[in-house]
């Protein structure tokens, strides 16, 4: 078997580690330890792997055996007080070795741990817990283990390597600590110095040796090595049984009935047998109620007489690692307080006796108690799902006791009771209940219950006088189109959002497209989508092949906690315009045939570094000439952009300006004046013409020129292919302005696929 490595806190600074360990111990902060079931190894006092050697007069209480090597040299001088010497590697011994392996792993794996950074004698006393050393554990002098009054308190010591005790060292138990609950898990071998007085179960991975004359209240259990005894007195320990008791009703009216439950517990692996009958003497005035209603899981038949209860007779047993219970109905005819106590030592079994007393108190109240009444008032009688409500109570007839508040789902206050807290009544009145948050719509009925005390009868408020209506939430649904203006052949989808829905909203949302602004004509579905935890799936994508105006709407079904909702029809308008393809024409001017549309957009979200602008590409200052587009909140100066010999206009340095393309009609004059601006600027941010595609028929475009305003109106908005030179630059006899910018950035080619074309005709000069 591979040995488990036990980790601990490294001893980098010994003094500090000792200080911290002592601080933890003295402050009462320690790692919890659990009882380790030794199973088939429990009846063994000595268990080895490669034989047991003895020197001198050794006394053993418990079984002894070794497997697979069963040799026992020197055992002629060994005296067995009780138990069996397994002289061969029989089945009992082999089963015990299997159980030891499991117990060793259990002990090594317990934690979290308190570090051992000094000799245990200097750390004494220790309280229950898990203590660990990455290397060896040493003990000089006396180690006191303080059980803190708990007979089931457990101590686990983990040694990464060896356990060594000095001569005449001692382990002492106080305050209820038991030897059966002390475990020493040793990573290699354990050695007891001469005349050691040792307590606990040694689970050593290798060997265990007594240097001579030691007294051991515990076990020597060696997993892979031998055990050496030398004038040793060793007795396997047992955990004493424990008793607990309680009354089903701690307070009864005089003559009422309460059930007394007595529990006998045994944490040993093997069953414990009662040595004699066990009698519980009831307090004077407490009687068995009528015909005895007795039950037991201990075996045997309990009996009762006036004032006493005789539990299962001698020979009855408490199962190993379990408990048994005895129940009896009792009554107290007279008013009073009765304490039923079982003293320590009252339960005697083959494994020991209870080491501490246990008691339960029964109060019998007067049958002539004063009448009380209780009324209640809710903080609100109607709320929406997710809201909170508390209750207030007024008590008449008493000023002491306890009031407990409840909320039910039926009008007789029996179903699905939800506790809203218990409060203490005082002369100042009854405190309010806790607030309860209601996450499910429905009707709820509140009730307050007064416990009653000696001299005051209990009372309960009327159930259906306190009705709370929890209404469904009324969410709204908002929507956002992937685009509000596209050209034919484009695909658009919708995304809905629930606002104000109750937590965990479910259901479905239906997306529909219409051709009128009241959402009644030419309905076209865009899918029925699931709502999960308030999140709506996106609609199906829809491709629009016909130009026009479309109105989207989303309809939510609702669920048990939410009303349905419909988005506002006119809030989602999609404009689809006809895309203009690349075209030519005989009417194009010379500048049309030799020109290339400018690139009026940089890579979005990315800074572009430009070289120094050369003189031949410098822009012309046109003086008091600037462009206003009220719908886009654009107010920018107009500069002249020279045409290059290759027919292109370089607008790289345009910045937050509007560029007039030289070669087209001068702004305000007859003909087609072409103005351009960036859709994305050199820093990757939106440019001045970013909203150009959102203009509509009739929107104003104003050129301010030397004190006059030339007011144009939009007549066409289109997306054109990047090579549609004629569509942009074609000649016009009337005064027109054509606004152009880029659209549809393609990251792979670092260019824009399309151009936005806005054509506006002069309507007025002011």
pLDDT digits (tens, 9 = 90+) for 648-684: 899 999 999 999 999 889 999 989 999 999 999 999 9
175-217 confidence digits (pLDDT tens): 989 999 999 999 999 999 999 999 999 999 999 999 999 999 9
Does 149 have pLDDT greater than 90? Answer: no
Distance CA 1, CA 326 (A): 45
Distance CA 441, CA 101 (A): 57
Which residue reads 């020979």 in tokens? 315
| Res. 393 pLDDT band, cuts 50 70 90 | very high
* pLDDT (mean) for 277-306: 68
* pLDDT (mean) for 752-765: 92
353 or 72: which leads in pLDDT: 72
103-133 confidence digits (pLDDT tens): 999 999 998 789 998 999 999 999 999 999 9
What's the Cα-to-Cα distance from 638 to each of 56, 591, 653, 666, 735, rounded to whole Å?
A: 116, 21, 13, 11, 17
- Note the CATH architecture for domain 373-471: Sandwich (2.60)
**Overall fold of domain 476-577:** Immunoglobulin-like (2.60.40)
Whose CA is closest to 496, among 411, 427, 566, 402? Answer: 566
* Tokens describing residue 415: 């179903």
Which residue reads 């006088």 in tokens? 465
pLDDT reported for residue 363: 79
* Tokens describing residue 64: 């002894």
CB 439, CB 354: distance < 8 Å:
no
Dihedral sign, Cα of residue 593, residue 595, residue 601, residue 607: positive
pLDDT reported for residue 114: 92
* pLDDT (mean) for 544-564: 93
Number of residues written out for the chain: 766
Q: For residue 444, which phi and psi values (nearest 5 degrees)?
A: -125, 145
* pLDDT (mean) for 738-755: 90
pLDDT reported for residue 311: 64
Which residues are paired to 173 by β-bridges? Answer: 145
Mean pLDDT of the residues in the chain:
86
218-271 confidence digits (pLDDT tens): 999 999 999 999 999 999 998 888 888 888 888 877 777 788 888 888 888 878
Distance CA 210, CA 194 (A): 7
Distance CA 74, CA 88 (A): 16
pLDDT reported for residue 584: 38
11-22 confidence digits (pLDDT tens): 333 333 333 334
Distance CA 233, CA 248 (A): 48
| Res. 25 pLDDT band, cuts 50 70 90 | very low
Name, in order, each residue with C-beta under 8 angstroms of 409's C-beta and a sequence gap of 6 or more.
415, 416, 442, 443, 444, 445
**What does the buried/exposed string (b/e) look like for 185-200 if buried means 16 or more CB atoms within 10 Å of the residue's CB?**
bbbbbbbbbbbbbbbb
pLDDT reported for residue 7: 35
Name, in order, each residue with C-beta under 8 angstroms of 72's C-beta and a sequence gap of 6 or more.
51, 52, 53, 54, 64, 66, 85, 87
pLDDT reported for residue 31: 52
Give residue limits of the domains in the chain: 14-235, 242-365, 373-471, 476-577, 591-765
Distance CA 564, CA 5 (A): 62
SS3 693: helix
pLDDT reported for residue 529: 95
365 or 401: which leads in pLDDT: 401
Cα–Cα–Cα angle for 262, 325, 244, nearest 5°?
A: 35
Distance CA 260, CA 551 (A): 75
pLDDT reported for residue 521: 94
* pLDDT (mean) for 369-373: 78
Exposure on the CB side of residue 512, measured as CA atoms within 13 A: 21
SS3 110: coil
| Res. 40 pLDDT band, cuts 50 70 90 | very high
| Res. 588 pLDDT band, cuts 50 70 90 | very low
Does 484 have pLDDT greater than 90? Answer: no
Does 569 have pLDDT greater than 70? Answer: yes
pLDDT reported for residue 595: 61
Whose CA is closest to 676, among 696, 657, 663? Answer: 657
* Burial category of 463 from C-beta neighbours within 10 Å (exposed 0-12, middle 13-18, buried 19 and up): middle
Distance CA 116, CA 124 (A): 11
**What does the buried/exposed string (b/e) look like for 154-175 if buried means 16 or more CB atoms within 10 Å of the residue's CB?**
bbbbbbbbbbbbeeebbbebee
Matching fold, domains 476-577 and 591-765: no
pLDDT reported for residue 23: 39
Q: pLDDT exceeding 90 applies to what percent of the chain? A: 59
Distance from the first to the final alpha carbon of the chain: 102
Distance CA 392, CA 385 (A): 21
Which residue reads 């416990």 in tokens? 451
Q: pLDDT exceeding 70 applies to what percent of the chain? A: 89
| Res. 357 pLDDT band, cuts 50 70 90 | confident
**Pairing relationship of beta strands 215-222 and 44-50 according to DSSP bridges:** parallel
* pLDDT (mean) for 27-39: 72
Which residues are paired to 157 by β-bridges? Answer: 131, 184
Whose CA is closest to 631, among 721, 697, 565? Answer: 697
Cα–Cα–Cα angle for 283, 400, 419, nearest 5°?
A: 95
- Note the CATH architecture for domain 242-365: Sandwich (2.60)
Which residue reads 């005051």 in tokens? 456
CB 224, CB 205: distance < 8 Å:
yes
Distance CA 325, CA 311 (A): 10
| Res. 53 pLDDT band, cuts 50 70 90 | very high
**Overall fold of domain 591-765:** Sortase; Chain: A; (2.40.260)
Which residue reads 């106590």 in tokens? 341
| Res. 323 pLDDT band, cuts 50 70 90 | confident
């Amino acid at each position: 078997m591979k040995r488990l490595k036990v980790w601990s806190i490294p001893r980098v600074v010994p003094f500090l580690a000792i200080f911290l360990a002592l601080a933890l111990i003295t402050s009462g902060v320690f790692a919890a330890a659990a009882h380790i079931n030794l199973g088939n190894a429990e009846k063994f006092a000595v268990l080895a792997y490669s034989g047991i050697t003895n020197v001198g007069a050794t006394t053993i209480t418990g079984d002894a055996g070794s497997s697979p090597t069963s040799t026992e040299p020197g055992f002629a001088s060994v005296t067995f007080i009780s138990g069996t010497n397994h002289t061969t590697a029989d089945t009992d011994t082999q089963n015990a070795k299997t159980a030891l392996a499991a117990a060793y792993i259990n002990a090594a794996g317990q934690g979290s741990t308190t570090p051992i950074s000094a000799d245990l004698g200097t750390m004494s006393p220790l309280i229950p817990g898990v203590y660990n050393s990455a290397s060896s554990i040493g003990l000089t002098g006396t180690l006191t283990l303080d059980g803190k009054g708990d007979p089931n308190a457990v101590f686990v010591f983990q040694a990464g390597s060896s356990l060594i005790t000095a001569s005449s060292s001692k382990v002492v138990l106080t305050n209820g600590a038991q030897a059966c609950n002390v475990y020493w898990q040793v990573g290699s071998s354990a050695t007891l110095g001469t005349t050691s007085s040792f307590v606990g179960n040694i689970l050593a991975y290798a060997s265990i040796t007594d240097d001579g004359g030691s007294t051991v209240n515990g076990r020597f259990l060696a997993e892979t090595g031998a055990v050496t005894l030398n004038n040793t007195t060793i007795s396997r320990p047992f955990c004493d049984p424990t008793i607990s008791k309680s009354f089903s009703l701690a307070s009864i009216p005089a003559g009422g009935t309460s059930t007394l439950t007595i529990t006998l517990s045994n944490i040993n692996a093997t069953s414990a047998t009662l040595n004699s009958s066990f009698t519980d003497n009831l307090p004077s005035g407490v009687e068995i109620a009528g015909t005895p209603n007795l039950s037991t899981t201990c075996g045997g038949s309990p009996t009762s007489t006036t004032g006493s209860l005789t539990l299962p007779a001698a020979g009855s047993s408490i199962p190993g690692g379990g408990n048994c219970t005895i129940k009896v109905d009792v009554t107290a005819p007279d008013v009073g307080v009765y304490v039923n106590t079982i003293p320590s030592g009252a339960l005697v079994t083959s494994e020991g006796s209870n080491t501490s007393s246990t008691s339960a108190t029964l109060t019998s109240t007067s049958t002539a108690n004063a009448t009380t009444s209780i009324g209640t008032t809710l903080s609100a009688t109607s709320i929406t799902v997710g809201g909170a409500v508390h209750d207030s109570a007024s008590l008449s007839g008493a000023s002491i006791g306890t009031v407990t508040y409840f909320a039910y789902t039926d009008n007789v206050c029996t179903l699905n009771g939800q506790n809203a807290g218990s409060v203490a009544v005082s002369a100042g009145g009854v405190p309010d209940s806790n607030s309860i948050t209601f996450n499910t719509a429905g009707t709820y009925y509140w009730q307050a219950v007064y416990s009653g005390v000696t001299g005051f009868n209990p009372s309960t408020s009327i159930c259906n006088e306190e009705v709370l209506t929890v209404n469904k939430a009324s969410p709204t649904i908002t929507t956002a189109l992937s685009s509000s203006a596209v050209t034919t052949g484009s695909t658009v989808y919708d995304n809905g959002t629930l606002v104000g829905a109750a937590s965990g909203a479910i259901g479905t949302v239906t997306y529909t497209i219409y051709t009128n602004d009241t959402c009644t004509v030419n309905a076209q579905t865009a899918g029925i989508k699931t709502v999960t935890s308030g999140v709506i799936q996106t609609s199906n994508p829809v491709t629009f092949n016909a130009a026009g105006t479309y109105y989207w709407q989303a309809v939510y079904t609702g669920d048990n906690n939410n009303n349905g909702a419909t988005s506002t029809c006119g809030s989602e308008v999609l404009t689809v315009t006809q895309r203009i393809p690349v075209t030519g024409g005989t009417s194009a001017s010379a500048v049309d045939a030799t020109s290339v549309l400018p690139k009026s957009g940089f890579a979005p979200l990315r800074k572009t570094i430009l070289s120094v602008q050369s003189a031949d590409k410098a822009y012309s200052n046109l003086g008091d000439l600037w462009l206003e587009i009220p719908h886009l909140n654009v107010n920018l100066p107009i500069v002249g952009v020279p045409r290059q010999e290759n027919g292109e206009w370089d607008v790289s340095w345009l910045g937050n300006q509007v560029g007039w393309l030289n070669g087209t009609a001068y702004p305000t004059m007859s003909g087609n004046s072409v103005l351009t601006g960036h859709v994305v600027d050199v820093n990757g941010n939106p440019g001045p013409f970013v909203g150009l595609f959102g203009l509509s028929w009739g929107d104003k475009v104003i050129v301010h020129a030397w004190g006059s305003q030339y007011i144009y109106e939009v007549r066409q908005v289109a997306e054109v292919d990047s090579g549609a030179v004629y569509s942009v630059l074609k000649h016009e006899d009337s005064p027109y302005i054509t606004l152009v910018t880029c659209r549809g950035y393609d990251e792979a080619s670092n260019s824009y696929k399309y151009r936005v074309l806005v054509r506006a005709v002069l309507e007025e000069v002011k």
